[in-house]
Amino acid sequence: MHPGRGVGARSGDKGSDANVGVWARSDHAYAALRGWLTTERFTQLLPETAGLDVERYELPNLRAVNFVVRGLLAGNLVDPQAKGLGERLRARIAESA
């Protein structure tokens, strides 16, 4: 089930790695988010992550999933701190609804 537009996202950097957290506002929305936003779908929504090591962590007490993308920021001059990555992901999720 698609999580819809009711998700939040925040992103940032740790060295050359990017971190993207996505959370839902309700238990029902979290169940949808958790099942829908797989690592594979994440890389489809953010094609610049394809071919990189993407790790997914579930944080059920926060109704969130967190992705770490290894090496994404090495040489990235457009968004060197990955601050816009979370908003790009939210926009892509909304577009796919």
- Is there a contact between 70 and 15 (Cβ–Cβ < 8 Å)? no
Average pLDDT over every residue of 85-90: 89
| CA 95 – CA 22 distance, rounded (Å) | 16
Number of residues in the chain: 97
Check pLDDT > 60 for residue 60.
yes
Could you give the domains of the chain? Answer: 7-95 (3.30.70)
Of the candidate ranges 40-44, 65-69, 90-94, the one whose mean pLDDT is the lowest: 90-94
Q: Across the strands, what pairs with 58? A: 65
Q: Indicate the pLDDT class of residue 18, thresholds 50, 70 and 90.
A: very high
- What pTM value is reported for the model? 0.88
